[in-house]
Structures are given as structure tokens and as C-alpha cells.
Structure 1
Amino acid sequence: MEPRLSNRSYNRVQWLCSFAICAIIGTYPVASIEVYTLSEVFVENGTTGILKCTFKSNQVISSQASVSWSFIPEGSLDSTGESIFHYAGGKGFPGSTQFKSRVEWAGDLNKKDGSIRVSKMQFQDNGTYTCDVKNPPDISGKPSLTKLRVVKKESLPQTSPAVIVGGVIGAIIGVIIIAVVAYLLIRVMRSTRDYEGCTSIESVSTQAARPGKKAESSTEGSRCSSPSAPVQGPVIYAQLDHSGSKSSFHKMEPVVYADIRKN
């Protein structure tokens, strides 16, 4: 007769087995890959558009890594969509007949880039695109979605690359103009400070009447000195009568009436 375990012993064995399984799973956790795409993309009708897809994985990129793209047309009730492109082993495999001759690989798995390029975009290409990346053993990631809007040129949003480049160039030119104006203002202010303290003393016109001496020009009477230099006061000429007689002539002699010195 075979021995049978009691209910108590059976429960104990079952608990030990469950504990061992949990310990093993905890030692080797399941990896999870993270996939990122733009929420919305605008492409001009008839041009080539790039659907960006990047991912983050804790594992080294292996030769078994793969990228799958699927498409759900706008207004479709299908939640899974149809495969339009699959990349694995360094090769691309177009799926849908709608994109078969228009889709190509534009990424680099070593750089964690799974983007694709679609040429001659059409209005019927509007819809939701899904990017799914697998990098064994990192395979439990969630696919990322992006909505594509194929529009006419005049309907493109103002955040197009051309507008951004134009704004950057305009900002650079504005900074240069401001720098030049500030430089010129600084030079004018320095020149004004350098000429502070300069005075102009006009020459006395009566010196032209003195015999044997050439009259000085008004420019020679201009002097520029520092504030600390002494300043000679003006010389005033007066007529003095030394003889006291009526027949004597009046002689012009200089008399200094004021000698002003500035400390």
C-alpha cells in the first residue's frame, strides 16, 4: 500500500514549491523595453516623411533585435492594424501593398533608433502608426503610437523647420545689432568723460593794438588742462597817466586786475 501525504503535509510541500518559484523569478526579473514616438507628425502631400521611433533597453543590442511597424487607417475600427514594415537581422521587409514600394529603413539599432522613411506621402496615408521594438531578453515593452497628418503645404503648422531656422537667424542678427549699438554708446560715453575739464580762454583782442606784436588767433587762446592745474585769470589793460600834464600822451600798459588760481 502506497503512503499518502496528509492534507497538512501536502499544503506544506505546496507552500515550499511556491516559495522556491518566487525566489527564482525574483532573482531573474523580466526585462522591459521602452519605446518612444512623436504623438503627432505633419507631412506635406507628395513629399517624403520620416516616422521617428527610439527605444531604451537595459540589454545590449543583440542580433535578434527587431522593429515592427503597423498602420491603422484614419476612421478604421481595427485596433491592431496591418503590418507595413519589419526590420530584423539587418534587413527590411515591407508588408502592406499600400507602402510596399514607398517605405524603407531609416534607423540604426546600435543607436537605438527604429525610424522608417515613407516617400510620396498621400492623403490616404493619414492614420495611426505603431512602432514595436524587441531586444531579447528585453521583449515585454509596450508599443508606441504616432498620428500622421498628410496636409497641403499651406496647412503645415508654423513650427516647420524652415520657420524655426528663420527665427534662429533673426535672433542672431538681433543680438549682433544690439551688441554694436552698445559698443558705440560705450565709446561715446568714454569720449565725453575724457574731455571733461577742458576750458577755452579767448585771447584779448586788444593785443593787436600793441606795437611790434602780432595778434594771436582765437584758436591759440584755447587751452585744455586737467582740473588740478592752476588757471591764470584774465589780464585787463587800462590807460594810466604817469606825467600828470595835459600834453602827455596816454600810454597803454597791462595791469593785472585779477589773478585767479584754482586749486
Structure 2
Amino acid sequence: MELRLTNSFLGCGLWLYLVALCAIIGWCPVASVEVYTPSEVFVENGTAGLLKCTFKSNQVISSQAAVSWSYIPEGSSDSAGETIFHYAGGKGFPGTMQFNNRIEWAGDLNKKDGSIRIKNMQFSDNGTYLCDVKNPPDIGGKPSMTKLRVVKRESLPQTSPAVIVGAVIGAIIGLIIIAIVAYLLIRVMRSSRDYGGCTSIESVSIQAARPGKKAESSTDGSRCSSPSAPVQGPVIYAQLDHSGSKNSFHKMEPVVYADIRKN
């Protein structure tokens, strides 16, 4: 394993030397890779921690692209650190014994992702981690640093990704409920506003005409307001026979007058 790691470093170093020489004599331009990492990461003690690293390159990802992770222990004055993981040629090569068998590749160079995952994080893993990406001929640029804090569960910040996702989901559900309630209220208000009176068919009560009195309609107190002109149907009148004929004693002969008016 150490031999593979050494050969990988030698190959990468040789490539960097050739590209640097090419740039010095002016044969080819030197581009830089922009590397991005979060400034600070909190991980619960005893769990796996993901160290994110993304990069931007103007060149197509080549087979010579490589990612190197270095570690500076907390309180150390070393500015470069020691290499703990190297990824090149589709394979990962672990470095120091402190992280032996605990680091695994979690990125995808084709997606410009150079992340790693460290299992079983311990308090002794606190420190600064540096991610460096080379994609020849893009070899310039500086490593990006992230501060790792291994803490107990109760010391985890409340703004963890799980809390943020839960808050976003709760807000979305609340907005949906508010929208549904508002829609129902608007429908109820429109229904009550559009209702202008009775919706049943106008009924006419028939009363027997008495001498000296007009027949009164019972619909006077229950008039319906309608936007359209009223349609008057047949009006039925009842006529009593007041002749003195015996044959017509207490006989009521209905007479129907049809009064149909057009709108």
C-alpha cells in the first residue's frame, strides 16, 4: 500500500514538474483550480463525519486528476499538515496511521466532488483539514481549509442540516394549510354574496274572493330579488257562484284565466 501511494505521489509530482516547466518556457498557459470547503464542521463523537470538498476547473476532468487531504492537529503550528488521504486513478490511498481504515472516498471527480468520509470520529481528530485538487493542466490554486469539531450530541449546533430540513418542511406544510383555508373562505363569501333571495319557484296562494275585498297574495312578504326580469306565469282566479239557484247551492265553479306575459 505504501508503495502504491509513493508511486502515485511520484507520478503526480512528475506531472506537476512538467507542467511547471512548460509554463516557464511559455509553451502552455497555467490555469488554476478553485477549491471550496465549509469553514467549520461539527460531528458527533463516535459517528461518521463527511468532509465536503468541491472544485471548479476550466478543463475537462482528466485521468490525471487527483485529490489530496491533509490534516493539521488542533494546536499545531504546522501550516502544511500531513497527508492523510490521496485519491488518483480511481483509487484511494490512506496516509497516516491515525486514520487508518477509517477514511473512505465519498466524492465523484466527474461531478467535481472530492469529499471524504471519516468513520468513528474521536475527540483527538479535532483540527484543520485541507483539500487540494489538481486537474492538469489546471494545477494552480490553493487548498481549501475546513475546521472540524468533534463534540457530544448535546453540544451539536441547533442549525444542523436535519433541523433546517425539518423547519423548511414545516413551513411548506403551513403555507399549504393557509392556502386551503383561504380558498374555502373565499368560496363561502362568494356563495353568500351571489345569493340574492329565495331560490325556489315562486308560489302563489289562492284565496277565495270575498264580497267587497280584494284577493291578497301571500307572496307580498316573501318577494325574491332576482337580477333578471320576473316571468309571470298563469294566474288562477276562483269565482264563486252567488246565484240563488238551487242547483248551484254551495257550488263553486272555478274559472281559470290564463294571463301569460312575455318578458
Is TM > 0.5 for Structure 1 vs Structure 2? yes
Aligned-residue RMSD, C-alpha: 3.4
**CA distance 1:30–1:157, change in 2 (3 Å):** same
Q: What are the Cα deviations for residues 138-189 of structure 1, in whole angstroms up to 9, with x where unaligned? A: 1122111110011111111122122122112211221121112111211121
Q: Which residue of 2 aligns with 1:256?
A: none
Name the aligned partner's letter for residue 115 of structure 2. Answer: S
1:150-189 mapped onto 2 (5 Å cutoff): 150-189=150-189
TM-score normalised per structure 1: 0.67
Give the whole-Å Cα distance in 2 for the aligned partners of 1:31 and 1:176: 49
1:54-133 mapped onto 2 (5 Å cutoff): 54-133=54-133
Name the aligned partner's letter for residue 195 of structure 2. Answer: Y
**CA distance 1:119–1:229, change in 2 (3 Å):** same
Name the aligned partner's letter for residue 47 of structure 1. Answer: T
5+ residue gaps, structure 1, are 1-21, 231-263
Shift of 1:55: 1.1
**CA distance 1:167–1:60, change in 2 (3 Å):** same
Give the whole-Å Cα distance in 2 for the aligned partners of 1:90 and 1:35: 19
Give the whole-Å Cα distance in 2 for the aligned partners of 1:98 and 1:219: 97
Identity over aligned residues, as a percent?
83
Shift of 1:109: 1.1
The question of whether the paired residues in 2 share the 8 Å contact of 1:53 and 1:114 is answered with yes
Give the whole-Å Cα distance in 2 for the aligned partners of 1:208 and 1:76: 113
Q: Which has the larger radius of gyration?
A: 1
**CA distance 1:158–1:137, change in 2 (3 Å):** same
Name the aligned partner's letter for residue 100 of structure 2. Answer: K
Give the whole-Å Cα distance in 1 for the aligned partners of 2:208 and 2:75: 105
Q: Which residue of 2 aligns with 1:139?
A: 139
The question of whether the paired residues in 2 share the 8 Å contact of 1:67 and 1:86 is answered with yes
Q: What are the Cα deviations for residues 37-63 of structure 1, in whole angstroms up to 9, with x where unaligned? A: 111111111111111111111222221
Give the whole-Å Cα distance in 1 for the aligned partners of 2:195 and 2:108: 67
Give the whole-Å Cα distance in 2 for the aligned partners of 1:132 and 1:23: 22
Give the whole-Å Cα distance in 2 for the aligned partners of 1:150 and 1:30: 38
SS in 1 for 2:98: coil
5+ residue gaps, structure 2, are 1-22, 231-263
Give the whole-Å Cα distance in 1 for the aligned partners of 2:110 and 2:166: 33
Q: What are the Cα deviations for residues 45-84 of structure 1, in whole angstroms up to 9, with x where unaligned? A: 1111111111111222221211110100111111121111
The question of whether the paired residues in 1 share the 8 Å contact of 2:196 and 2:225 is answered with no
1:180-259 mapped onto 2 (5 Å cutoff): 180-196=180-196, 222-227=222-227, 229=229
Shift of 1:222: 3.3
Q: Number of paired residues?
A: 203
Give the whole-Å Cα distance in 2 for the aligned partners of 1:60 and 1:227: 73
SS in 2 for 1:86: strand
Hey, which of these two has a bigger chunk of strand by percent? Answer: 1
The question of whether the paired residues in 2 share the 8 Å contact of 1:197 and 1:227 is answered with no
The question of whether the paired residues in 2 share the 8 Å contact of 1:34 and 1:56 is answered with yes
Give the whole-Å Cα distance in 2 for the aligned partners of 1:222 and 1:144: 83
Shift of 1:23: 11
Shift of 1:229: 4.4
Q: What are the Cα deviations for residues 169-213 of structure 1, in whole angstroms up to 9, with x where unaligned? A: 2112211211121112111211122223559xxx9xxx69979xx
Name the aligned partner's letter for residue 30 of structure 2. Answer: V
